[in-house]
Chains A and B, each alone.
Chain A
């Protein structure tokens, strides 16, 4: 096949744009999950949060014709599901793993049901696309400019928010409390940090980020909703948090590695037209998972110590309340 069609100038632009579109929803959710897990809560409900956010965004944009309202709805719905997770896992302290899976079940059911209730029997509803916003000068840089500075406004906003979350977690007092609470809740508690409150906030941020991930998938990208539209991206995001060793920058890098591999295999198959290769396409589909696995193993072999937050998955109980 013609490799220059993929790695030549214009092919490369398509490839990277595609990688950004495929990676961004997962990356945002993974960042949110990083915050939750750094605070010590293993949130397996991420897929449900993304899906609910996607639905919220779609409905908001559909009924108001405003992508801004849609985006706000998506994030808000994500925050609400985050609150549900926090109520169960932090306030009631029930088993986090089950809470998460139950939230996914619930979200899958309720979104499909609502969609059916609202649009059942009619044609697939869509929302209007939002135009790309070309940043002057930067957008004219050959190659990179088109990829990074000629996207829709929501993607820029997401990039900014992602950086914000990284700064929040790694460079602020609040971020320090989050990490302390996930590493040693007892010590944090002794230092007068309100463990429950910090975990609640971390889960609200996580829900909001996952909701934003769902939003970015729907608004300006697919411009439609269908049941299970997130197609398992939340689960991949959870895997990529571990892959990135709970470090927001590595997590972000990991999701783009995954997204790039995914875009690459899709491009290769699209460009070759499926006729010039006898390799089963399942192997191409497996490529992002295989490469992530390989990089993970190599990275773990060379990394000395575990980066996992010590209190991950363990509910915190004040000694006094026992």
Chain B
């Protein structure tokens, strides 16, 4: 019986094979035409833009309404509307290294000048970089290679300012942070938040939870509920799911919080004090300029902090001003100025101190 069944899949598969062969025959004849037509559509959209527009591709690990991807998407669109780039975007790209690599490679192969792999994808990007030495790449990750540049993420600088406000806002002297993983990005953000809060309110105590997961909104929300039950009344998140979980938790318990990466004020207008914004626009702009000028390679780590407009604390105008003591707000603005003019540096604490 087994034997009889075993021949069958071959029948099924061979039908597919025939279809595949037939189609690939069409494909090979029309393949070039397709690419050409794809290219011409691209040219059509840029007819209005300048001739030297950089052909840029943006590969996003999530949908473009996710707090993280939304920022990358909007920054690239802004650059496109200014005529600086021809833009192609892939949303919700495969998360695994092999799949992401294939998408990145496909862009490199199809003649893009600059491919932005907008996630922690060094393992997917570097091998493609080796195969396409004339194409420029950028990703988040470990260290730059000849033609793969890195984004820096000095989010902690904005978190310090948020912490200063939190120290003034808290009535219980307990604040909290919820982060996806204990990686330097989040660790430094959490430490800076605490340091900022202690500056305006030495009595403050911070509860920090590393969830160990970037995706589970429900668990993040429960963790933040737990923190709130311990008295926390100002919350900061690190990670998209953590930020979304925070929104619901602070709304339900009517406490305050800071948005993460993209402006979240409208999701909880009464509870969001402000957002620690990460804006990739100056990064993308500079990378595009360097690509045009031929100064992209050897690639480096691009870094735009508070001073350079890559990070900022954006306050929510709808948040009740009465909650923020004016003295604290003035002090925060003073420190912000000091960071801008370089007279103060936010301490960067990427690891250690409890895990």
**A64 close to B (CB within 8 Å):** no
Which listed segment binds B: A73-81, A171-179, A218-226?
A218-226
Q: Which of B20-64 contact A (CB under 8 A)?
A: 62-64
Set B207, B208, B217, B227: member contacting A222, Cβ < 8 A: B217
Q: Which of A270-292 contact B (CB under 8 A)?
A: 270-278, 280-282, 284-285
Residues of B within 8 Å of A270, CB to CB, are 176, 207, 209, 222-227, 230
**A123 close to B (CB within 8 Å):** yes
What 1/0 flags go to A252-274 for Cβ under 8 Å of B? Answer: 00000000001100110111111
Residues of B within 8 Å of A278, CB to CB, are 354-355
Q: In the complex, A226→B218 CA distance in Å?
A: 11
Known: A11-B229, A124-B67. A22 touches B212 (CB 8 A): no
Q: Is the CB of B63 within 8 A of A224?
A: no
The interface centre, meaning the residue of B207, B210, B218, B247 with most chain A CB atoms within 10 A of its CB, is B218
**Chain A: number of interface residues, binned into ranges:** 35 or more
Q: Which of A151-188 contact B (CB under 8 A)?
A: none
Residues of B within 8 Å of A190, CB to CB, are none
**A120 close to B (CB within 8 Å):** yes
Which listed segment binds B: A33-41, A111-119, A312-320?
A111-119
Q: Which of A112-155 contact B (CB under 8 A)?
A: 112-113, 115-116, 119-126, 129
Known: A112-B63, A281-B210. A123 touches B266 (CB 8 A): yes
Task: Please name the residue on chain A nearest to B208 by beta carbon.
Answer: A274
Set A271, A281, A282: member contacting B207, Cβ < 8 A: A271
What 1/0 flags go to B56-89 for Cβ under 8 Å of A? Answer: 0000001111110010011001000000000000
Residues of A within 8 Å of B64, CB to CB, are 116, 120-121
**B271 close to A (CB within 8 Å):** no
Q: In the complex, A25→B354 CA distance in Å?
A: 33
Q: In the complex, A87→B239 CA distance in Å?
A: 40
Residues of A within 8 Å of B262, CB to CB, are 123
**A22 to nearest B CB, angstroms?**
6
**A231 close to B (CB within 8 Å):** yes
**B174 to nearest A CB, angstroms?**
9
Known: A270-B209, A271-B207, A281-B182. A222 touches B248 (CB 8 A): yes
Residues of A within 8 Å of B307, CB to CB, are none
**A5 close to B (CB within 8 Å):** yes
Residues of B within 8 Å of A266, CB to CB, are 211, 219, 222-223, 226
Known: A14-B229, A229-B217, A270-B207. A129 touches B251 (CB 8 A): yes
Q: Is the CB of B264 within 8 A of A285?
A: no
Q: Is the CB of A125 within 8 A of B216?
A: no
Set A119, A121, A271, A276: member contacting B74, Cβ < 8 A: A121
Q: In the complex, A281→B353 CA distance in Å?
A: 14
Residues of A within 8 Å of B213, CB to CB, are 231, 285
What 1/0 flags go to A208-240 for Cβ under 8 Å of B? Answer: 000000000100011110111101000000000
Task: Please name the residue on chain B nearest to A278 by beta carbon.
Answer: B355
**B141 to nearest A CB, angstroms?**
22
Q: Which of A90-119 contact B (CB under 8 A)?
A: 112-113, 115-116, 119
Q: Is the CB of A226 within 8 A of B217?
A: yes
Q: In the complex, A10→B262 CA distance in Å?
A: 35
**B97 close to A (CB within 8 Å):** no
Q: In the complex, A3→B248 CA distance in Å?
A: 26
What 1/0 flags go to A47-91 for Cβ under 8 Å of B? Answer: 000000000000000000000000000000000000000000000
Residues of B within 8 Å of A228, CB to CB, are 215
Task: Please name the residue on chain B nearest to A221 by beta carbon.
Answer: B218
**B6 to nearest A CB, angstroms?**
14
Q: Is the CB of B65 within 8 A of A124?
A: yes
Q: Is the CB of A116 within 8 A of B91?
A: yes
Set A11, A113, A121: member contacting B65, Cβ < 8 A: A121
Q: Is the CB of B91 within 8 A of A231?
A: no
What 1/0 flags go to B266-293 for Cβ under 8 Å of A? Answer: 1100000000000000000000000000
Residues of A within 8 Å of B355, CB to CB, are 274, 278, 280-281
Residues of B within 8 Å of A276, CB to CB, are 354
Q: Is the CB of A10 within 8 A of B217?
A: no
The interface centre, meaning the residue of B210, B225, B353 with most chain A CB atoms within 10 A of its CB, is B225
Residues of A within 8 Å of B303, CB to CB, are none
Q: In the complex, A222→B215 CA distance in Å?
A: 13
Task: Please name the residue on chain A nearest to B263 by beta carbon.
Answer: A123
Residues of A within 8 Å of B248, CB to CB, are 129, 221-224
Task: Please name the residue on chain A nearest to B220 by beta carbon.
Answer: A266
Q: In the complex, A65→B304 CA distance in Å?
A: 41
**A308 close to B (CB within 8 Å):** no
**B170 close to A (CB within 8 Å):** no
Q: In the complex, A270→B353 CA distance in Å?
A: 16
**B318 close to A (CB within 8 Å):** no
Q: In the complex, A124→B262 CA distance in Å?
A: 10
Residues of B within 8 Å of A10, CB to CB, are 229
**B222 to nearest A CB, angstroms?**
5
Interface residues, chain B, with chain A CB atoms under 8 Å away = 62-67, 70, 73-74, 77, 91-92, 176, 182, 205-213, 215-219, 221-227, 229-230, 240-241, 244-245, 247-248, 251-252, 262-264, 266-267, 353-355
**Other than the known A267-B222, A270-B230, what 13 A-B pairs have Cβ atoms closer than 8 Å?**
A10-B229, A115-B63, A124-B66, A124-B67, A221-B248, A222-B221, A222-B248, A231-B213, A266-B211, A266-B222, A273-B208, A274-B209, A285-B213
Listed from nearest, the 8 A-B pairs whose CB atoms lie closest are: A270-B226, A273-B207, A275-B354, A14-B229, A231-B216, A120-B64, A119-B65, A270-B223
Residue pairs across A and B with Cβ atoms less than 8 A apart, 30 shown, are A14-B225, A113-B92, A116-B64, A120-B91, A121-B73, A124-B244, A221-B221, A222-B218, A222-B248, A223-B248, A224-B244, A224-B247, A226-B66, A227-B62, A227-B66, A231-B215, A231-B218, A267-B226, A269-B223, A270-B227, A271-B230, A272-B207, A273-B208, A274-B208, A274-B209, A280-B355, A281-B182, A281-B211, A281-B212, A284-B212
